[in-house]
Amino acid sequence: MQKKNIIKLLKEKLTFGLELEGVFNLDKINICEDDIADYHEGEDYDCYNFFKLEKDSSVYNINDSFQNYYCFEIISKPTTYADLNVYFEKLKAVLNITDSFYNSVRFNKTTGGHIHIKINNNRFITNIYNLEFINLLNKNIFIFLDKYIYLFEEIKNNWFRSYAKKPTAQNVGQDRGISVNKNNKYNTIEIRSLNFNGIKNIGTMYFLVSNILDIVINTILEYNNLEDKQPKKTKFNILTKKVKIENININC
Q: Which residues of the chain have pLDDT under 70?
A: 1, 40-49, 122-126, 226-252
What integer pLDDT is reported at residue 187 of this predicted model? 78
- In angstroms, the CA 31 to CA 53 distance is 9
List of residues 6+ apart from 131 with CB closer than 8 A? 167, 168, 169, 172
Domain ranges in the chain are: 3-247
What integer pLDDT is reported at residue 239 of this predicted model? 38
- In angstroms, the CA 202 to CA 180 distance is 24
- In angstroms, the CA 251 to CA 50 distance is 17
List of residues 6+ apart from 80 with CB closer than 8 A? 12, 14, 15, 16
The answer to whether the pTM exceeds 0.75 is yes
Closest residue by Cα to residue 250 from 219, 213, 205: 205
Within 13 Å of residue 62, how many CA atoms lie on the same side as its CB?
A: 11
Rounded alpha-carbon distances, angstroms, from residue 173 to 121, 189, 222, 252 = 21, 11, 21, 40
What integer pLDDT is reported at residue 120 of this predicted model? 81
